[in-house]
Structure formats: structure tokens, C-alpha cells
A and B are shown apart, each in its own frame.
Chain A
Amino acid sequence: MPAITFIHPDGKSDRVETSGGESAMQAATRLGLDGILAECGGNAMCATCHVYVDESWVARLPAVADDEDALLDGTAAERLPNSRLSCQIHITPELDGLVLRLPERQV
């Protein structure tokens, strides 16, 4: 199973083994990781699962959809060019090793 890494604002990191077909958000909440709130449970409605994708990975993710784009304008922490909603990142084998940085705040 592909594994992904979350880096917290204080620099600490958590490596998470994903299980079949889940999103990065689901992997994080399944492990009770601090820093991903996911208030809408992955329905692309809340923008509280915001992450910054490590620069080396940005181009390898599927493009941002329109609804995700609109929600990203409303994130609590600043939106950057590498901002994504982790509930919209579905972990496939090609994403093994993905690195996501957590923002300072989600609300």
C-alpha cells in the first residue's frame, strides 16, 4: 500500500500507510492526525482539510477541479499555489511517497 507523509507546522512528520482507494484526508483522520479537521467528512464543502503539497509533487497530482478551486479561496490559512484539499487527493500507487505539509490552522 502506498505511504504518504504529513509534515506539521513545527517540522515533525508522520508517515501514514494508506489503505485501498482512500483519500489523503481519510488516511489522516483514520490515524487521528492533528491538523486535518475535515468537518464535512470529505464532501468538498468545508475547506478544513487544507494541505500544501510538497513542490516536487505538485505537478504529479490530478488538476484542481472547479469546486475545489472555489473552496480553496476560503481556507483559514493563506492559499498558496500548492494548496489542495486533502479529501480530493485520492491515493493511488503512483502517489507512494507523497509529502503534504499541514497549514497553521484549518478554521
Chain B
Amino acid sequence: MSAPGSAVSGVPHLDVDPFDMTFFADPYPTHERLREAGPVVYLDKWKVYGVARYAEVHAVLNDPATFCSSRGVGLSDFKKETPWRPPSLILEADPPAHTRTRAVLSKVLSPTVMKQVRDRFAAAAEERVDALIDKRSFDAITDLAEAYPLSIFPDALGLKAEGREHLIPYASVVFNAFGPPNQLRQEAIERSMPHQAYVAEQCQRDNLAPGGFGACIHAQVDEGAITAAEAPLLVRSLLSAGLDTTVNGIGAAVYCLARFPDQWQRLRNDLSLGRGAFEEAVRFESPVQTFFRTTTREVELSGAHIGEGEKVLMFLAAANRDPRRWDSPDSYDITRRTSGHVGFGSGIHMCVGQLVARLEGEVMLTALARRIAKIEITGEPKRRFNNTLRGLDSLPVTITPA
């Protein structure tokens, strides 16, 4: 027997910690090192395999029988450690259990449902632009990237007005908890009790307004699709993954458009590019940077031998800029053909809320471009540190109305 990832199998070992502050401050040189070292690498710091090229990330995502999710999609192996919260019934599940819960959320967040909420989401985006034009100078993270999703998503879910301030902190715990037991994760979990209590309460049927996504999930109990005990946990998935992700997605798009004025001009000249501008920002910034899988058997991946029960870290962000797959990967191009990027994952776990995210991104960027001539960054952007999510804490800007 050789040690995991030993030189015997030809897997290069890298002394890289993709969860520390210096990495988060500028991950790109390390992403390149990871990609160029080989198709599969081994990270000694956390004793995990890593894949950073597009082909291998895509392959791992699309072989859920070998690279499973039920042992956790973070570093912690649920077979060896007790999860910090009851596991997700969708994200941290494998077929056939996943197939059933996934069908429920797909129905609740389907293209047909998006047609119904579209006008409401678009009207809220216009209102947000009204408020920003009044201000002229503002923080594009709090006043735009957070304020807009907060103005629609909790209502769309059917949440009560009280307690919503727990939503972003709760999501931040969830995404920190996928990381290794570093300070970010430990502190997040230690402080999570009040947020967990709020979320558990709001997932109950009685606390969700009729007609919202939450109530629609509970209605599936009556259809026999899920049990009454499962419904609150599926609502929890939307509370965990549905808000902070789009905050970082919209934040990424605004940051890109403010940094690359030529792309902003292109968007202003053709408002139909709003949806593409958002999608390209999800590729370019990859708000969800990484996820893990666990091997269910020994497997050969691009020549590397991986044993059973090993964690494999997928660098979605590095795959989204792999020059083997993308032309000029480091340029933000709103007319790029982004189909196939892995910012929302790929395969059976590919983001079930992707249509919600795109709708929010599209209507918000289109409303901004229609009424604002110029966005200038007026202060040093500050980064927000999280083990999984990439985004800013603050982005001071001044706008010029059209």
C-alpha cells in the first residue's frame, strides 16, 4: 500500500492552503499552479486530492456514483465525523434519495414559476435603481448586491418580516462550514446558534406565507412526494443557498462592470446583454469557489489512482478560467458563450436555483444599464472572507444617471 497520493501514482503534492487569507486575497496565481501541476493534485495541508482543470472538474461532477455527496460536500467526512447540522436532503444526498428531493425543488423553482415571478422581480429592480439614483454615492455591496435580493427573495419564499437579519449570517456559516477546521469555520459555527434557531423556526409550514416557494415545498407533502418531516429541511436548503449566493453573484457582476467600462458601454448599447453579463460574471468570479466529493471506490482519474473514502476538492473557479477550455479566460466578456461553465456546478447537483439567480441578475443589471451612464469606483474595495464564497464586503461607487 502506498500513502494517499504518493509519488507512486504520479500525483504531484502541493504545499498550498486554498482556505487561508493570503490565498483568498489573490487566488489566481495558485489556481494556475494547481492547474499546471497536473490533472489531479494532492494537497498535503488538508490531505485531500484536488482538481482544478475544467475536464477533471466536469468529470468528477458528472460521476456521482464514484464521487458522492452523501459523505458531505465540505472537507468533513460524514462517515467519520458528525455533521455540524442535520445534513441537507438534496445537496448532501446521493441517488435515489437525491432524485426524489431534487424533483420537488426543480418543480418549485421551474422555468414556469420564473415566468410568474418575473414582473415582480423586475419591478423591485427598478425601485432599487430609483433609490440608488437618489443617493448617487453608495456602497454597491450593501445598497445594491445585498439590498436587491433582500427586497425580493425572502418575500418570494414567504418568510415573516421579523428576523430576516439572520439570513445572510446563517448562509455565511453554512458556506464557511464546508471548509477545513480553520478559524473561519470554528468561529462561524460557535456563533451560529441564534441563526440556526431562527432558520429552523422559519422552515415550519405555519411560518411560511401561502403561494411562496416555502409553502409550495410543503404542499408537496400533500402530493405524497415528500414527508412532513422532510419539507422543513428542503425549505432550509433555499434559506442556506438562495440568498448569499445571489448577493455575491450580483456583487461580482457590478464589480466587473465597474472595473471594465468597455463592457458596461456594450451593455448600455444593447440591453439584451444583461443576462449574459450576469452569467459571465458567475464564470469570471465564481461566487461559489469550491465543493468537495468523497470517493465511493478506488478510481483512476486522468491517470491518477485514488483510493476509496478520499476527499476530492473541485476548484470550480479555476476550471472556469482553464485556458484548455476557454479563450482569453481572464477577460470579462459579456458576449462570451458561457454555456458549460461550472459556476453553478454540473450534473445531477447543478444548482437547482440557477433560474432564480439568473432572473435576479438579468433584471437588476438591465435596470442599472438602462438608467445609469457611468459607475465609478471611489474607494478601496474590501474583500469578505469565507471558506467557499468569493465576494466583496464593500465597494464604494459613485454613479452618473443617464
Q: List residues of A whose CB falls within 8 A of some B CB.
A: 29, 32, 37-43, 45-47, 67, 70-71, 73-75, 107
Instruction: Give B355's nearest chain A residue, CB to CB.
Output: A46
Closest 7 CB pairs of A and B: A74-B111, A74-B112, A38-B339, A47-B111, A41-B340, A43-B350, A73-B112
**Interface contact B346-A43, CB-CB below 8 Å:** yes
**Neighbouring B residues of A42 by C-beta, 8 Å:** 340
Closest-CB distance, A29 to chain B (whole angstroms): 5
Interface centre among A40, A71, A73 (most CB of B within 10 A): A40
**Interface contact B110-A71, CB-CB below 8 Å:** yes
Majority SS at the chain B contact face? helix
Q: List residues of B whose CB falls within 8 A of some A CB.
A: 103, 106-107, 110-115, 275, 279, 337, 339-341, 344, 346-347, 350, 352, 354-355, 358, 362
**Interface contact A74-B114, CB-CB below 8 Å:** yes
Query: A46 to B106, alpha carbons, bound, how many Å?
Result: 10
**Interface contact B339-A70, CB-CB below 8 Å:** no
Query: A38 to B107, alpha carbons, bound, how many Å?
Result: 19
**Interface contact A39-B358, CB-CB below 8 Å:** yes
**Neighbouring A residues of B340 by C-beta, 8 Å:** 29, 38, 41-42
Query: A67 to B352, alpha carbons, bound, how many Å?
Result: 13
**Interface contact A39-B354, CB-CB below 8 Å:** yes
Query: A38 to B354, alpha carbons, bound, how many Å?
Result: 13
**Interface contact A46-B111, CB-CB below 8 Å:** yes
**Neighbouring A residues of B114 by C-beta, 8 Å:** 74
**Interface contact B341-A41, CB-CB below 8 Å:** yes
Closest-CB distance, A98 to chain B (whole angstroms): 21
Query: A38 to B339, alpha carbons, bound, how many Å?
Result: 6
Instruction: Give B279's nearest chain A residue, CB to CB.
Output: A39
Instruction: Give A66's nearest chain B residue, CB to CB.
Output: B103
**Neighbouring A residues of B352 by C-beta, 8 Å:** 45
Closest-CB distance, B164 to chain A (whole angstroms): 28
Instruction: Give A38's nearest chain B residue, CB to CB.
Output: B339
Instruction: Give B338's nearest chain A residue, CB to CB.
Output: A39
Query: Which of B106, B107, B113, B339 meets A39, CB within 8 Å?
Result: B339
**Interface contact B350-A45, CB-CB below 8 Å:** yes
18 CB < 8 A contacts A-B: A38-B339, A39-B339, A39-B358, A40-B350, A40-B354, A41-B339, A41-B350, A42-B340, A43-B346, A45-B352, A46-B355, A70-B110, A71-B110, A71-B111, A73-B111, A74-B111, A74-B112, A74-B114
Closest-CB distance, B51 to chain A (whole angstroms): 18
**Neighbouring A residues of B344 by C-beta, 8 Å:** 40
**Neighbouring A residues of B115 by C-beta, 8 Å:** 74
Query: A67 to B102, alpha carbons, bound, how many Å?
Result: 11
Query: A39 to B337, alpha carbons, bound, how many Å?
Result: 9
Interface centre among B113, B114, B362 (most CB of A within 10 A): B114
**Neighbouring B residues of A46 by C-beta, 8 Å:** 111, 354-355
Instruction: Give B345's nearest chain A residue, CB to CB.
Output: A43
Instruction: Give A28's nearest chain B residue, CB to CB.
Output: B339
**Interface contact A41-B110, CB-CB below 8 Å:** no
Closest-CB distance, B173 to chain A (whole angstroms): 27
